[in-house]
Amino acid sequence: MNRGIPVKGPATQTLARHEERFPFFLTLRISAAPAAAFVILVGMIEEICVLVRIPAYILPRPSAIARELWTRAPEYLKHSGITAAEAGLGFAVATLLAFGVGVLFVHSRVAERSLYPYAIALKAVPVVALAPILVLWFGAGFLGKVVMAALVCFFPVVVGTTTGMRSVGREVTDLFASLGASRWQALWKLRMPSSMPQVFSALKVSATLSVVGAIVGELSGSLNGLGFVILVASYEVQTVRMFAAIVCASIIGIGFFLAVAVVERRVLFWHESVAEVDRGTVLVNREAPRSIREEKRS
C-alpha cells in the first residue's frame, strides 16, 4: 500500500480539510513523530539509570529532574525569566547594532575596509574569556549579562546583513538605476527585503547563542539566573538541580529559535525555503496552486 504519502483518496482529503479549519490538528500531526521519539528516548534513559544503578549525583533519573522542576517551579521560573530577559535583550541590542553596521558596510567601502577586520577580530576573541572582565566593568548584575549575550550575537548578524544586502543581481540594480531610485530607496525597497533570507538564518544562529552568552556571563559571577543556579548546585553537588537548570536553558533556547522561525515564515513567505515547507505539508492536499491554472491568454 502507498503508506506515508498522503496525496489522494477521500480520507486524506477530509483530513486535510479538517486540518485547514483547525490548525491545531495539523500541528498535532506534524509534531507526533518527534514527540513519540522523545518519550521513547527519555523512557530508555530512565530504565538504564535504574538497571545500571547509576548514582543520582552522576546522572539523575529523568523523573527525578521532572519532580525537581515541578516542586520548585516558581524558583526555576524566576531564574529562567531573568536569563531569558538577559539573552533576549542582548539579542535585540546586537541585532539592531549589527543591522546598522551592515547598512554602513554596504554603503561605504571605506567603512567596510577599515572596520570589517575588527568585526572578525571580535569574533575571534573567546568571549568566555571576557566574562570576568565584564563582571569587573558592569558588576554582577543584569547589564553585564546583556552585554555578554549581545557580544556573542553580534557577529553572525553583521555577516548576514552585509552579505545579504550585497547579494543583489545586476539586472535588478539596473532596473532601480533606470527608475532613478535614490540610495535610500534602493536600500529600503531592494536591499533590505532581499537580504532577509540571509539575515534570518543569521538570527536563528544568534538567537540560540544569546542564551549561551547569558549563562556564561552568569557563571562567572551573578546573584540570580540559571547560570547562578548551576553554579550553586555544582558547589553543593546537587546534580538534579543542575540538570533541571539545563532543561530550563534548553527550553529558552528552543523557544527563541522557534520565535525567530515563526517571524521568518511570515516575513519570508515569498522565499523558496518557506515555500518548500508549504508544498511538503499542506499544499499537497489542497486544490491546484495558481500557477497550474491555465494562462488566460496565449
Q: Which residue has cell 521568518?
A: 264
Residue 225 burial by Cβ neighbours in a 10 Å radius (0-12, 13-18, 19+): buried
Residue 235 burial by Cβ neighbours in a 10 Å radius (0-12, 13-18, 19+): exposed
Element at 171 (helix H, strand E): helix 170-178
Q: Can residue 48 be called a binding residue for another protein (CB under 8 A)?
A: no
Nearer to another protein, 137 or 188 (CB): 188
Binding another protein (rule: CB under 8 A), the pick from 48, 77, 172, 254 is 172
Min dist. Cβ of residue 191 to another protein (A): 11
Min dist. Cβ of residue 101 to another protein (A): 24
Q: Which of these segments, 40-48, 71-79, 165-173, 253-261, binds another protein (CB under 8 A)? A: 165-173
* Contact call for residues 222 and 82 (beta carbons, < 8 A): no
The rounded distance, in Å, linking the Cα atoms of 276 and 260 is: 18
Binding another protein (rule: CB under 8 A), the pick from 14, 174, 251, 258 is 174
Provide the grid cell at 17.
480539510
The rounded distance, in Å, linking the Cα atoms of 153 and 149 is: 6
> What is the sign of the dihedral through the CA atoms of 135, 139, 140 and 143?
negative
Q: Can residue 270 be called a binding residue for another protein (CB under 8 A)?
A: yes
Q: Can residue 3 be called a binding residue for another protein (CB under 8 A)?
A: no
Min dist. Cβ of residue 96 to another protein (A): 22
Q: Can residue 62 be called a binding residue for another protein (CB under 8 A)?
A: no
Residues in contact with another protein by CB under 8 A are 169, 171-172, 174-181, 185, 189-190, 193-194, 196, 269-272, 275, 289-291, 295-298
